[in-house]
């Protein structure tokens, strides 16, 4: 590997940096999503929704204290600000959660784009050197020229390899984000409906009594 790296020329150094950045982010995001999965507590989420139907906000805050479930954190934000604007509070909390999930995704996207371009740049520079060598030594030493081209192609292969290895986890992380956004919308809408029913219930009872 070290010999291949040296044969690739100076462009291999920024390619190495791209690979280190991609690998670091992939590991960090994998740990992050494992934590999200471990923090999922469907039983507690269902209990929060049941208690919200009863309007027992204090019990909800007590039970959900310190929860690692992102949906529960969003609902709690709505509960804490229900007297002002519950919907806006949940929207802000949801935006924060999605932002945490999207962290470093732009960097991964950049690596997927930049790595192949760096590889092509290295190949072009290598071919230019090969033609310079051809002009200097003539056709009497063709192996020197073809060897230079072969070395130049190492950068393209390296850049494509980095992009290919990165694109799979990138797409997986994006699918997890989209799924999380759907879950947030589902439970936030359910919670909003329950809260509106609780708020409007006294008005309905007063009208019925009148």
Residue spans of the domains in the chain: they are: 10-112+169-197
Q: Which two tokens stand for residue 87?
A: 């919907």
Candidates 62, 97, 68; CA nearest to 80 is 62
| Closest C-alpha to 73, from 173, 184, 179 | 184
- Would you say 98 and 188 are in contact if contact means Cβ atoms under 8 Å apart? no
Identify the burial level of 62 via C-beta atoms within 10 angstroms of its C-beta, where 0-12 means exposed, 13-18 middle and 19 or more buried. exposed
Q: Tell me the per-residue pLDDT of 65-114, one tens digit each, with 9 for 90 and over.
A: 878 889 888 988 888 887 788 888 889 999 999 999 999 999 999 999 99
Q: What pLDDT does 138 receive?
A: 56
* pLDDT at residue 86, rounded to an integer: 81
pLDDT given at position 204: 40
Write out the two tokens for 174: 């994006």
Is pLDDT at 18 greater than 80 in this prediction?
Answer: yes
Q: What is the pLDDT of residues 105-138, one digit of tens each?
A: 999 999 999 999 999 998 888 887 777 766 665 5
Q: What confidence score (pLDDT) does residue 169 get? A: 96
61 pLDDT exceeds 50? yes
pLDDT at 199: 66
Could you tell me the pTM of the whole model? Answer: 0.81
User: Per-residue pLDDT averaged across 136-160, rounded?
Assistant: 72
| More confidently predicted of 159 and 40 | 159
The structure tokens 């797409």 sit at 171
Residues in the chain: 210
Q: By C-alpha distance, which of 75, 39, 38, 43 is closest to 60?
A: 75
- What lies within 8 Å, CB to CB, of 206 at 6+ separation is none
Query: 2 falls in which pLDDT band (50, 70, 90)?
Result: confident
């Amino acid at each position: 590997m070290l010999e291949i790296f040296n044969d690739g020329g100076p462009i291999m150094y920024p390619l190495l940096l791209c690979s280190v950045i991609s690998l670091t982010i992939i590991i960090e995001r994998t740990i992050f999503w494992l934590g999200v999965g471990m923090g999922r507590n469907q039983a507690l989420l269902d209990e929060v929704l049941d208690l919200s139907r009863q309007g027992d906000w204090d019990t909800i805050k007590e039970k959900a204290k310190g929860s690692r479930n992102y949906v529960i954190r969003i609902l709690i934000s709505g509960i804490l600000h229900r007297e002002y604007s519950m919907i806006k509070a949940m929207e802000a909390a949801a935006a924060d959660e999605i932002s945490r999930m999207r962290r470093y995704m732009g960097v991964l996207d950049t690596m997927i784009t930049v790595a192949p371009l760096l590889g092509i740049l290295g190949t072009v520079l290598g071919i230019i050197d090969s033609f310079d060598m051809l002009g200097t030594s003539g056709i009497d030493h063709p192996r020197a020229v073809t060897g230079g081209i072969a070395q130049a192609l190492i950068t393209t292969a390296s850049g494509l390899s980095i992009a290919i290895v990165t694109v799979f986890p990138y797409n997986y992380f994006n699918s997890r984000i989209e799924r999380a956004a759907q879950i947030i919308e589902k439970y936030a809408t359910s919670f909003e409906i329950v809260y509106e029913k609780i708020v409007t219930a006294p008005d309905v009872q007063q009208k019925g009594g009148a």
